[in-house]
Amino acid sequence: MTALPRKVEAGTATDVADIVIAGGGVGKTFGGGAVVALEDASFNIPKGSFVSLVGPSGCGKSTLLRLIAGLIERSSGSLTVHGREVSGPHADVGMMFQRATLLDWRTAVENVLLPTEIHRKPTAEDRSRAVELLKMVGLKDFVFSFPSQLSGGMQQRVALARLLQTGADILLLDEPFGALDEFTRERLNLELMRIVAEVGATTLFVTHNIGEAIFLADKVMVMTPRPGRLARMVDVPFARPRRPELQQTPEFNALVAEVRDILGTH
């Protein structure tokens, strides 16, 4: 374990071989240095862990995800995924964007099948999985609807189904449930946890809901407002599998308060 600057705990002591995503002083500026979106972020994310990322609006969360996905180039620092420097989009990473970015000319199920199509001709199995995923996100009746026929939350759910269809072992989710009501959100949280556990995927999850962040994660990464920095990595000690009731326990609420405190003081 390398020493990490800026008080960010590196999480539990894990074998270096088990670190899937590692950032060392990652920075990103836009407009030729005019806007510092992310500064000096160092972190290690172990294999199979679920990390939530919280922070004020505009602090660089989406930017960090896009850096990890290799969609934009960092301005400074080092960033490795599976031990290899990130230099462009790479396999094994699935990303769900803040905006649903569905393709207008494809029905819901065809949108979900897209990641598969990118890699091979979809089999009957792929298809049935796609339909299953849509059912799971509660869109049983909208399998063949086009995006413009869906509500905002429904579009987000299609995008989630599409992410899960990738079968990637690193999942990056950018506010996936922003447009969902509490109940749907809760259900999908559980489903997401289940699937992630099943696959053993490493997950980075951006959310503004601190309760959700804690409920889902092994660790919560807290970011400061602009210029975006990692303020703290908070360990979540609760055992898995977790039940919704967990959220009513005092320990849980204490942790929520702690994270809120960290956010509030920065």
Partner 1 sequence: MVVLTSSTREQDHGTRRGAGSFFHAAAFHPIVRHFAIFAVLIGAWEIGARTGTIDPLVLPAPSAIAEAMWRLFVTQRNIWWHLLVTIGEVLAGFTAGSILGIGLAIVVGLNPMVRKLLKPYVIVLEATPRIAIGPLIIAALGFGWSSKITIVMLVCFFAPFINTLSGMLSVNEGAYELFRSLRANKWQIFTKLMLLDAMPVIMAGLRLAMASALSGALVAEFISASEGMGVLLKRYTASLNMASAFGCLLTLTALGFAIYRTMEAVGNRIVFWRHAPQMDAVSRRRQAQWQRNWGA
Partner 2 sequence: MSTVQQTGATDQATFRLFSIATTLLLHLSIFAALIAMWEGVIAAGLVNEFLLPRPSRIAAAIGKLYLFDRTIYWHFAITMYEAVAGFAIGAAVGIALAVSSALNDTFRRYVAPYAIVLNVTPGLALTPIVIAWFGFGWGSKIALAAIISFFPIFVNTLAGLTQSDADRLEMFRSLGASRFQIFWKLRIPDALPVALAGLKIGMTTALIGAVVAEFAQATEGVGVLMQRYSFSLDMAAAIATLLSMSLMGLILFSIMELVDDRVVFWRRDARMAVISRKRAAAFARENPGLQTNNKHNAGGRQ
Ligand X SMILES: Nc1ncnc2c1ncn2[C@@H]1O[C@H](COP(=O)(O)OP(=O)(O)OP(=O)(O)O)[C@@H](O)[C@H]1O
From the list Mg ion, partner 2, partner 1, none, which binds 243 (C-beta under 5 to 8 Å, kind-based)? none
* Interacting positions 38-77 with partner 2 (CB under 8 A): 66, 69-73, 75
Q: Which is nearer to Mg ion, 87 or 151 (CB)?
A: 151
Looking at 140-148, 196-204, 233-241, 245-253, which segment touches partner 1 (CB under 8 A)? 140-148
CA distance 52 to 40: 19
Contacting residue, 3, 33, 57, 118, with its own copies by CB under 8 A: 57
Instruction: Compute the least distance from the CB of residue 197 to partner 2, in Å.
Output: 23
Tokens standing for residue 261: 């405190």
CA distance 138 to 263: 33
The answer to whether residue 149 forms part of the interface with Mg ion (CB under 5 A) is no
Contacting residue, 51, 96, 130, 150, with ligand X by CB under 6 A: 150
Q: Which is nearer to partner 1, 71 or 246 (CB)?
A: 71
CA distance 109 to 261: 42
Contacting residue, 49, 61, 147, 207, with ligand X by CB under 6 A: 61
The answer to whether residue 261 forms part of the interface with partner 1 (CB under 8 A) is no
22 forms bridges with which residues in the sheet? Answer: 44, 80
Q: Which of 36, 47, 31, 67 is nearest to 206 (CA)?
A: 67
Q: Which of 6, 9, 21, 27 is nearest to 205 (CA)?
A: 21
CA distance 240 to 215: 10
CA distance 55 to 166: 27
CA distance 131 to 256: 36
CA distance 220 to 232: 8
CA distance 256 to 243: 16
Contacting residue, 76, 78, 151, 253, with Mg ion by CB under 5 A: 151
Instruction: Compute the least distance from the CB of residue 78 to its own copies, in Å.
Output: 24
From the list Mg ion, ligand X, partner 1, none, which binds 242 (C-beta under 5 to 8 Å, kind-based)? none
21 forms bridges with which residues in the sheet? Answer: 45, 81
CA distance 171 to 168: 7
Tokens standing for residue 265: 């003081």
CA distance 256 to 211: 6
The answer to whether residue 87 forms part of the interface with partner 2 (CB under 8 A) is no
The answer to whether residue 121 forms part of the interface with partner 2 (CB under 8 A) is no
* Interacting positions 101-130 with its own copies (CB under 8 A): none
From the list its own copies, Mg ion, partner 1, none, which binds 73 (C-beta under 5 to 8 Å, kind-based)? partner 1
Q: Interface residues with its own copies (CB under 8 A)?
A: 30-31, 35, 54-58, 61-63, 98-99, 138, 141, 149-154, 156-157, 174-175, 178-185, 208-210, 226, 260, 263-264
Q: Return residues touching partner 2 (CB under 8 A).
A: 28-35, 66, 69-73, 75, 89-91, 93-95, 97, 99, 101, 103-105, 107, 109-110, 114-115, 117-119, 124, 127-128, 131, 140-146, 148-149, 166, 172
